[in-house]
Amino acid sequence: MVETRAAVKRAGRRLWRGVRRVRGARRGLAAYLAVLGPGIIAANSGNDASGIATYSSVGARYGYTLLWTLAPILLSLGLVQEMCARMGVVTGKGLADLIRERFGVRWTALVMLALLVANGGVIVSEFVGIAAATELFGVSRYLSVPLAAFGIWWVVVKGSYQRVERVFLVMSLVFLGYIASAFMARPDWGAVGRELARPSFSFEREYLFMLVALIGTTITPFMQVFVQSSVVDKGATVEDYALTRADVWVGTVFSVAIAFFIVVSTAATLHETRGPTELESAADAARALAPVAGAYAQALFAVGLLGAAMLAVGVLPLATAYSISEALGFEKGVSRSFREAPIFVGIFTFLIAAGAFVAMIPGLPVIDVLLTTQFINGLLLPVILVAVLRLAGSRELMGAYANGPLYNAAAWLIVALVSALSATLVATTLFG
């Protein structure tokens, strides 16, 4: 009897420990879901219409041979995004705000110029992506682009931060279609694995252009601005840092995985069947899937392009409005009305309207706009990264949350490699 009672007590204690673990897991999941958003949205916004065109061009022109670059890109993107998110939770200030305070007006003007040049071109390319995707379904760009512009403007200007974030997160689900498209294309997975593990390099100008464009579309200046400003706008604090960091890395892994599947699907349908192929438009990649993988795969690719462009059309103008408002010291925030933050809302509205108008100009060279914009992002990225590293490594600013020696070394190595690639491309272009 005594042994039976003891066994019952032990079973009861084990059951209670199990209940507490479940409750703890639920509380942990609830806490993560409360912080979830900025990291995932920022990383996925890099897989925009420009990014899809770049990844598709990489697969069509070079097959699987550039897949190896995605591993260092994943590490680099995660490190950079984590630094910006960490600065947001520690300081409660956006990136442009910190640059203005720490480096003065000249540095701020240089960074703002870099952002405006890069973001202006990318916003146009996102509307071009919306037009290309809807035209695959027989809808004219002169209808789809204005409707998309108004829809995104309405969601952001008339909604709260929480509502806008939920809409952006739902939009991120469209990227799952690229995973299905890649499997429908029936690639040679053995060749995919070999090229992932076997780095290759070339000093040809076209190869360097594509390599810098690949880096520029995956690690872009607007992503750093957006993730830090949105973390601040969301109200995340130092107590939320661990969950914010998890959000950043989950978003990074998911984003780079989608890039991988886009390259694989276009390499299997274009490069493997036709040889090195030049894409004439963003929709070419979707059309190319139909003969090999079927119309369903083409539709998935087109829906992914549409959703990705819609997500970026919301994030890019927001990142630009955040940065300029912070740099000039004006009120900002998605939950602010036009009366409370006229500069912030005005910049967002102008960029949406201007981007939609330019994208509807007849004869716009689509693929040139997409790839050249990402090339510019690759050249301008070192400017942003230097500012981020100097800020994140400052003990005065970050205290115990400043970069450690190993973290700093890895981050500076990223800046050095990106700068070297950009300089090599410029030299090759100028001197052959």
The lowest-confidence range among 278-287, 354-363, 390-399 is 278-287
Beta strands in 72-112, from DSSP E residues, in sequence order: none
At residue 57, does pLDDT exceed 50?
yes
* Residue 369 pLDDT grade (very low, low, confident, very high; cuts 50, 70, 90): low
What is the mean predicted confidence (pLDDT) over 271-279?
Answer: 76
**Model pTM score:** 0.80
| Percent of the chain scoring above 70 in pLDDT | 80
Q: What pLDDT is recorded for position 110?
A: 74
Q: What pLDDT is recorded for position 21?
A: 42
Q: Which helix (H) or strand (E) holds 253?
A: helix 241-266
Q: What pLDDT is recorded for position 282?
A: 58
Residues in the chain: 432
Q: What pLDDT is recorded for position 274?
A: 76
At residue 185, does pLDDT exceed 90?
no
Q: What pLDDT is recorded for position 14?
A: 47
* Residue 12 pLDDT grade (very low, low, confident, very high; cuts 50, 70, 90): very low
What are the two backbone dihedrals, phi and then psi, of residue 190, each rounded to the nearest 5 degrees? -65, -45
At residue 325, does pLDDT exceed 90?
no
At residue 268, does pLDDT exceed 80?
yes
- Write down the mean pLDDT value for the chain: 78
212 touches 427 (CB < 8 A): no
CATH class of the domain whose range is 37-431: mainly alpha
175 touches 259 (CB < 8 A): no
What is the mean predicted confidence (pLDDT) over 235-240?
Answer: 84
At residue 32, does pLDDT exceed 50?
no
37 compared with 106, residue with greater pLDDT: 106
Task: Report long-range pairs for 385-389 (Cβ below 8 Å, ≥24 apart).
Answer: 385/80, 385/411, 385/414, 385/415, 385/418, 386/415, 387/95, 387/99, 387/103, 387/107, 387/111, 388/80, 388/83, 388/84, 388/87, 388/95, 388/224, 389/83, 389/415
* SS3 call for 159: coil
At residue 102, does pLDDT exceed 90?
no
Q: Is 257 exposed, middle or buried (0-12, 13-18, 19+ CB in 10 A)?
A: middle
Q: What pLDDT is recorded for position 426?
A: 61
What does the CA dihedral 99, 101, 106, 107 come to, rounded to 10 degrees? Answer: -20
Q: Which of 242, 241, 250, 221 is nearest to 37 (CA)?
A: 250
377 touches 216 (CB < 8 A): yes
Q: What pLDDT is recorded for position 353?
A: 92
* Residue 428 pLDDT grade (very low, low, confident, very high; cuts 50, 70, 90): low
Q: What pLDDT is recorded for position 51?
A: 79
* Residue 147 pLDDT grade (very low, low, confident, very high; cuts 50, 70, 90): very high
Q: How many C-beta neighbours within 10 Å does residue 193 have?
A: 12
- Report domain extents, the chain: 37-431
| Percent of the chain scoring above 90 in pLDDT | 9
pLDDT in tens, 242-259: 888 888 899 899 889 989
412 touches 419 (CB < 8 A): no
Calpha distance 31→237 (Å, rounded): 13
